[in-house]
């Protein structure tokens, strides 16, 4: 049986066992099963900084010139922004049809404490590390990327024998990282089962049913975006059939679904893109880490769906201008969203605030956020990979 089939089987099994166990089984599951899941995700996280850093340095040195990097960088960010804006519009459209929250008696609970309003320039400010070791210690991906880029450029500029020693060294390190990731993935079915079981047991039908319309809207929006936009991108821009694209991505998608973390899925996504989709190491190591932090199409869909939902629940009709503003702030907010579980909920506050929707709505969404996060994270990382295959083809056709 191949690995993705095993992971899928584990996923299905965890849903069945979780529903049977329910809240009664929760203490046992939390005590004995959940920590095994955490150990698995920690193993993957352990590899984020080493694999991003070493493979990016190698990727840079194999690019050979900085002009090429500028070109790849510009195209990557442009496609990322474009797909994100489409995602929010799809979120709106689906929510417009399903109308989550209409006629509900959910009422307002107490809003969770929202952190200081996120400030967009901070994303750019935080990109430059004042102390790269500190950034790596904190697994801050963007500053780590920037540092790796400088090391790469430095190596190219030094050139000659001395540079070759480093190129070989980092190349060997990157290879070791990929081997370790492959080893960790062998136990992925167990990890996925143990991660998902507590979620299913805790969020049984009781929690999910009242907000089913939001979950359905999120899932349908995610599906339309993935099947529509990514299939077209895979076919037209990436030279892959949609089936081979999604098949190649299946492991990473399931890990994203269970972990709800783009950053946590990054090592697996990098492995899948290189081994199954044939994306070069230089493109993978640049496009994917950037995407894991900047490109969040699933989160963008969520912003669209939740704004409509909250507007419906509180009976505030959304105007066309407000929708335009949501697309704008939602795109920016999704850039500022960290690739960790629950980050999108905090950024949703920024979007709601920008159009004057009640922040109390957050409390309603918070209860099911984990489930919504599963869908959005899966879309998020799939979007990164779709852009990676597109950029890879553009570079190969050069
Ligand atoms: N959990 C998402 C991710 O890591 C971010 C979010 O909460 O929207 O991709």
Ligand 1, residue 380: give the atom nearest the CA. Answer: 9
How many other C-beta atoms are found inside a 10 Å radius of the C-beta of residue 209?
9
Place 123 in a pLDDT band, splitting at 50, 70 and 90.
low
Establish whether residue 304 lines the binding site of ligand 1, counting it when its CB lies within 6 angstroms of any ligand atom.
no
What ligand 1 atom has the least distance to the C-alpha of 334? 8
pLDDT, position 43: 93
Question: Can you tell me the mean pLDDT for 256-280?
Answer: 95
pLDDT for position 294: 86
Ligand 1 geometric centre to CA of 338 (Å): 7
d(CA 325, CA 92): 12
168: number of Cβ within 10 Å: 11
**Residue 111 pLDDT > 50, yes or no?**
no
**How many domains in the chain?**
1
pLDDT above 80 for 1: no
Top pLDDT among 112 and 206 is at 206
98 in contact with ligand 1, CB cutoff 6 A: no
Name the pTM for this structure: 0.88
Tally of CA atoms within 13 A in the half-sphere of 208 that contains its CB? 14
Q: Are 375 and 299 in contact (CB under 8 A)?
A: no
Question: What domain range includes position 354?
Answer: 3-396
pLDDT at 114: 46
Taking only the tens place, the pLDDT of each residue in 129-167 is 999 999 999 888 888 989 998 999 899 889 889 999 999
Q: 392 C-alpha to center of ligand 1: Å?
A: 25
Q: Is ligand 1 within 6 A of the CB of residue 260?
A: yes
**CATH code for position 360:** 1.10.3860.10
Residues 6+ apart with CB under 8 A from 201: 18, 19, 21, 22, 23, 25, 26, 29
Q: Which of 154, 207, 171, 139 is nearest to 371 (CA)?
A: 207
273, two tokens: 């893109």
Burial degree of 73 (CB within 10 A; 0-12, 13-18, 19+) = middle
Q: With a 6 A CB cut-off, is 341 part of the ligand 1 pocket?
A: yes
Q: How high is the pLDDT of residue 274?
A: 95
d(Cα 309, Cα 276) in Å, to the nearest integer? 38
């Amino acid at each position: 049986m191949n690995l993705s089939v095993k992971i899928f089987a584990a996923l299905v099994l965890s849903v069945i066992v979780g529903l049977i166990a329910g809240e009664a089984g929760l203490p046992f599951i939390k005590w004995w099963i959940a920590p095994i899941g955490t150990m698995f995700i920690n193993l993957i996280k352990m590899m984020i900084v080493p694999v991003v850093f070493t493979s990016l340095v190698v990727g840079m040195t194999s690019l050979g010139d900085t002009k090429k990097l500028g070109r790849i960088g510009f195209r990557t960010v442009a496609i990322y922004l474009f797909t994100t804006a489409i995602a929010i519009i799809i979120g709106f459209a689906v929510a417009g049809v399903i109308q989550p929250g209409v006629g509900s008696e959910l009422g307002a609970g107490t809003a969770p404490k929202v952190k200081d309003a996120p400030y967009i320039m901070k994303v750019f400010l935080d990109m430059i590390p004042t102390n790269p070791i500190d950034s790596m210690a904190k697994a801050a991906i963007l500053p780590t990327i920037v540092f790796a880029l400088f090391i790469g450029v430095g190596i190219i500029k030094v050139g000659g024998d001395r540079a070759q020693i480093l190129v070989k060294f980092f190349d060997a390190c990157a290879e070791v990282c990929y081997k370790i990731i492959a080893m960790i993935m062998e136990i992925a079915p167990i990890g996925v089962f143990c991660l998902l079981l507590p979620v299913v047991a805790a969020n049984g039908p009781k929690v999910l049913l009242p907000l089913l319309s939001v979950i359905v809207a999120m899932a349908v929006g995610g599906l339309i975006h993935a099947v529509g936009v990514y299939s077209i991108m895979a076919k037209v821009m990436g030279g892959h059939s949609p089936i081979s694209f999604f098949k190649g991505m299946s492991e990473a998608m399931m890990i994203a679904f269970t972990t709800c973390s783009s950053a946590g899925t990054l090592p697996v996504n990098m492995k899948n893109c290189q081994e199954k989709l044939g994306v070069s190491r230089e493109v993978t190591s640049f496009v994917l880490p950037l995407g894991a932090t900047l490109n969040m199409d699933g989160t963008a869909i969520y912003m669209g769906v939740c704004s409509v939902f909250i507007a419906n629940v509180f009976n505030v009709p959304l105007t066309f201008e407000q929708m335009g503003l949501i697309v704008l702030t939602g795109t920016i907010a999704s850039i500022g969203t960290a690739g960790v579980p629950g980050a999108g909920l905090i950024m949703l506050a920024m979007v709601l605030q920008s159009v004057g929707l009640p922040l109390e709505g957050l409390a309603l969404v918070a209860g099911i956020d984990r489930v919504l996060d599963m869908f959005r994270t899966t879309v998020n990382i799939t979007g990164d990979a779709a852009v990676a295959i597109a950029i890879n083809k553009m570079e190969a056709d050069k």
